[in-house]
Each structure stands twice: as structure tokens, then as C-alpha cells.
Structure 1
Amino acid sequence: MVDATQLEFWLGKFQVLMMDYGVKILTALLIVLLGRWLAKKITNIALKLMTQRGVEITLSRFLDNIIYYTLLAMVLITALGQLGVQTASFVAILGAASLAVALALKDSLSHFSSGVMLILFRPFKVGDFVTVSGESGTVEAVTIFNTVLKTPDNQRKIIPNGQVYNSTITNVTVNPTRRVDVTVGIGYDDDIRAAKEVLEGLLAKHDKVFSDPAPLVAVSALGASSVDLVTKSWVNTSDYWTVYYALTEEIKLAFDEAGISIPFPQQDVHLFTNQAEQKE
């Protein structure tokens, strides 16, 4: 059985404690709840403003997260100060802990810093087709630590931002137009002028090939077994592969109709027989 005197003593202690700290605890809880609500409200307003100003979605989301967590940290420090915690000491401890975590996670922080640079300088954005770190695909997301690509055959490639930022970045679709280069070889006995006329005619009638800048047809090399002709034409970036595949097929068909040959590697094999064996 609990002694009534002891119970009365502890109840008195509890009442004094509640009188001393109850208001502070309630105030701290209100600061946390109200501060969290206010932080969300401010970040939503900031995100809306950035969207209205046309800020790229990846950058706006990143800045939105930075604003929210910065405000939340300020709210927590204010609440701790209300409870009587020495915030200066708390900030010093937090800084020391952050340094220890930074040393332990230096590789991850390298990806983080690279992610920040990619988001701020924006060498590509969501929806661009890029080649980075030996991988090609459409950018699906740029997170703090990784860049996510979708390959043309619908695979997902997740590449650490450190590798992305430290490699050569080729943004294929950033410009509205691209040049289509198709090289084809003809035989040395074929008429170069006739072959060029065929190629120029194909380019002139192709509805997706621009007339300005004008397409170019020229001799690009005198190869070991062929005279190489190159066609250079400008198209919309979205039409690049359509035009490339169509021209490749149309050139072969047009050359066949015009009697122009397209050489391919051949080997002549000479057999030598032993004369002594022939006599036997």
C-alpha cells in the first residue's frame, strides 16, 4: 500500500512541476504546431509564385524543400528556447553532429552538392533526352542525390548526381532543330554527278527537311572501295529519327532505280594447287 503522506508529497511535487513547466510545455507545443502550419503555408505560397513566374519545376521543388526545412528548424529552435534549453549550446552540438555526419557521408554529400549544382545551373530539365555518364534516355526526375532516366526501350536508369555532374553531358533535345547526316558510298565506276542529283532530289521533296538552311550533298571521302557522299539536312528535333530512317531507305531504293551501285566489302580467294599432286 502507498503511504498517504508519500502520495500527498508526490502530488504536491507534480503540481509545482506543472505550475512551473506546464505553461512552457503548452507554449512550446503551440509554437511547433503553429510554426509547422505556417512553414507549409509559406512554402506553398513560394511554390505558387515560382510556378507563376515560370521557374522550372525541378528547381522550384528543390527551393520549396529548402525553405520548408529551414523554417521548420527555426521553429524547433524557438520551441526549445521556450522550454529553457540553451539554444546556443544546442546549435553548437547540432553543428558538431552535422560535421561528424558529413565526414561519414562524404560520398553522399558529394552527390548532394552535385544535385544542387545540376538544379541551379540546369544543363538539362525534366523531359530532355540526354546522354550522361555513358547512359542515354529521357530525364524523368532530378532529385537531390540521383538523376533518373528513361531509356528508349523503357528501362529506368538511376545515376548518382556525382557521376552526372563530373561527366560530359550531351543534351540532345535542348535545341529546336538538328542536322541529319547520312553517308552513302557509290562505286568508282558510277557517275558522281548523277548520284548527287538523286540525293538532292530526295532532299528537295522531303516534307520534313528544311529548305532554309539549304540541304548539302557533297563528296566526303574517297574510300578504299567506294566514293563516299554525305547528305546534311536540317529538321525539327522531334523529326530527327523519322527523317534519318526514311532517307536511308529512300536512298537505297532511288539508287537501285538509277542503276547506281552501293559497294560492299568483298574478298577474292585464289586457290593454288600443288603441281606434283596434279600429276599423281
Structure 2
Amino acid sequence: MADNLSEKGPNIIYGVLIFVVGIYICKWVKRIVTKSLLKYNVGKGITNFIVYGIYISMLSIIALTCLDIIGIQTKSVVAVLGAAGFSVGLAFKEILSNLGSGMIILFFKPFKIGDYIQGSGVEGSVSDIQIFSTVLKTPDNKTIIVPNFQLTSNNIVNFTHQEKRRVDFSYNISYDSDIDLVKRILQDIFLEDKRILQDPKPIIGINSIGNNAIQMVARPWVSTEDYWDVYFDVMEKVKKKFDDNCIKIPNLTGVVFYDNNSNFVDNKNSRLN
């Protein structure tokens, strides 16, 4: 061992030196690539994926080169790593599925950071897209971490992908209400609110005629960022205008109600909008 150590000592020192210098070179390349990609407005998720891919690949090449300099047969090392990688792949197939799904999300971009999406039974604003998972933030400030495979294997609803969205309103009015008056009230509200777009033109009409009520629908278009503000404001204005003009809300009968103790309550005269 002493003879072998004295014989291979210089190669070991040389290999360790190359490995240390190689680590610094990898970090330097990592910083350069990150700055270059961010300079050309490449997404954060794609940037992280490319940077760490290059970083790990360079470290692997440097490690194999150092082992070869020391005198260790790298072919056997590669064979062992390949067999180990195959076994790990079988054991962690779900992780690899998330990795593949992460690549799909990063390169095909069904959504981006800042979008409000719904998928895999949850919804929220995308705060980060990682290689294995996507981080959502709910309107009440909860953080949801969703594996990427669950998102790509289900339908994804992107609420903010388009610049414009349609707001759907429906109102039940009694049979003795003036339909033309209701339409004028809604039209005036839509004209007064500058956030409501006039192209495409809002749709106002009768959706259905039931036994106890007529259902009116109104469908204006707004910019995506104004959706909820317009929704709540219009609902409040319509309620006040209906009260001012004596637009009656019908009493719906045959509805079953329960109190806090799950006991049946007969409340046929309850008013529902």
C-alpha cells in the first residue's frame, strides 16, 4: 500500500486539485448562464432547470475525469452507476414522472408564474414552478404544493391566460315584473361602469321561464384583472336598483331547510335570489 500510495500520490493530488478547481468553474458557469438567461427574459422555472442540468452534468464529467486521473477504472464506475440508476428509477418512478411533467410545464407553458389556475382539485395563483412540483397560493394566503404529474395528467383551467373574461349574472324575477325595465336597468349599469367592455357587447335576455320565476341573465365582458371587482360592484348596484324600481324577487316554495342541529325547518315563504 505504501508503494502504491507513493506511486499514485502525485496523481491523487493532481486529481483532487482538478476537482476543486472544477467545482469553482462549475459555479462560475452557473452564474454566467443564469445571468444570460434572465437577461433574455427566460422564465424562472426553465432557467433553474437549464442551470442545474448544466451544473450537474459538468460536475459528473469532472468527477469521472478525476477518477480516471487517479487510476480508477471509470468504465466500471459508469456501469455501476447505470445499474444503480435503473434500480433507483424503478423505486422512484413517481418522482421521475413529476420530473417529466415539470419539463412539459416549463417548455410548453400551459401556465406561468402569476396565473390563476384550477387543477387536480385545487386552485390558486402560481407562485413558483419547480422541477418536481408547482406551488400555488390561494386567495386566503394558503400555500398548496401540487406534484407536477397530477397537473399534467388532469384538466387545467387557466383563468388569467386570456386578456378578457365574461362575467355571468343571473337574476330571478317575478312574473309581474317589467322585463323591459329590468333590461334597461342592467344596460344602464353596464354603460356607467367604464370597466365593462362594450366590444363584445354585453348580452342581456331571458334564460328560462319556470313555474315561479323568470330567470334573466346578463353577460358582460371585462378585463381579466377587473373580473372580481366588477362582479361584486354590479351585484350590489343591481340589488339597489331593483329595490328602487320595485322589481320583485319571487318566493320559491318547496325548498327544504335545516337548522344548526340538522332538524327540518318548514320555511316555504323564504326568499331566495
5+ residue gaps, structure 1, are 1-12, 270-280
Match of 1:104 in 2: 91
Give, in angstroms, the shift of residue 18 of structure 1.
4.5
Question: In the alignment, is the contact (CA less than 8 A) between 2:115 and 2:158 conserved in 1?
Answer: yes
Cα distance in 1 for residues equivalent to 2:136 and 2:251: 38
User: Is 1:93–2:80 an aligned residue pair?
Assistant: yes
Cα distance in 1 for residues equivalent to 2:185 and 2:64: 76
Give, in angstroms, the shift of residue 149 of structure 1.
1.0
Give, in angstroms, the shift of residue 227 of structure 1.
1.3
Match of 1:273 in 2: none
User: Is 1:228–2:215 an aligned residue pair?
Assistant: yes
Match of 1:80 in 2: 67
2:169 pairs with 176, 182, 190, which one?
182
Query: CA offsets per residue over residues 56-84 of structure 1, 9 Å max, x none?
Result: 11111111111110111111011111111
Question: In the alignment, is the contact (CA less than 8 A) between 1:186 and 1:263 conserved in 2?
Answer: yes
Match of 1:161 in 2: 148
Query: CA offsets per residue over residues 230-278 of structure 1, 9 Å max, x none?
Result: 1111111111011011111111111111111122413599xxxxxxxxx
Q: What is the total number of aligned residue pairs between the two structures?
A: 256
Identity of aligned residues (%): 36
SS of the residue corresponding to residue 184 of structure 1 reads strand
**Following superposition of structure 1 onto structure 2, how do residues 14-163 of structure 1 map, counting pairs within 5 Å?**
14=2, 16-163=3-150
2:231 pairs with 244, 263, 266, which one?
244
Cα distance in 1 for residues equivalent to 2:178 and 2:50: 63
Cα distance in 1 for residues equivalent to 2:20 and 2:210: 76
Cα distance in 2 for residues equivalent to 1:47 and 1:116: 18
Question: In the alignment, is the contact (CA less than 8 A) between 1:217 and 1:230 conserved in 2?
Answer: yes
One-letter code aligned to 1:30: L
Cα distance in 2 for residues equivalent to 1:133 and 1:246: 31
Match of 2:180 in 1: 193
Question: In the alignment, is the contact (CA less than 8 A) between 1:58 and 1:125 conserved in 2?
Answer: no
- TM-score of the superposition, structure 1-length normalised? 0.87
Task: Please tell me whether Structure 1 or Structure 2 has the larger radius of gyration of its CA atoms.
Answer: 1
Give, in angstroms, the shift of residue 223 of structure 1.
2.4
RMSD: 1.7
One-letter code aligned to 2:207: S
Match of 2:245 in 1: 258
Question: In the alignment, is the contact (CA less than 8 A) between 2:164 and 2:224 conserved in 1?
Answer: yes
One-letter code aligned to 1:215: P
User: Is 1:202–2:189 an aligned residue pair?
Assistant: yes
5+ residue gaps, structure 2, are 256-265, 267-273
SS of the residue corresponding to residue 246 of structure 1 reads helix
Cα distance in 2 for residues equivalent to 1:267 and 1:111: 50
SS of the residue corresponding to residue 196 of structure 2 reads coil
Cα distance in 2 for residues equivalent to 1:230 and 1:169: 27
Moved segments of 4+, more than 4 Å: none
Match of 2:199 in 1: 212
Cα distance in 1 for residues equivalent to 2:139 and 2:250: 32
Is the helix fraction higher in 1 or 2?
1
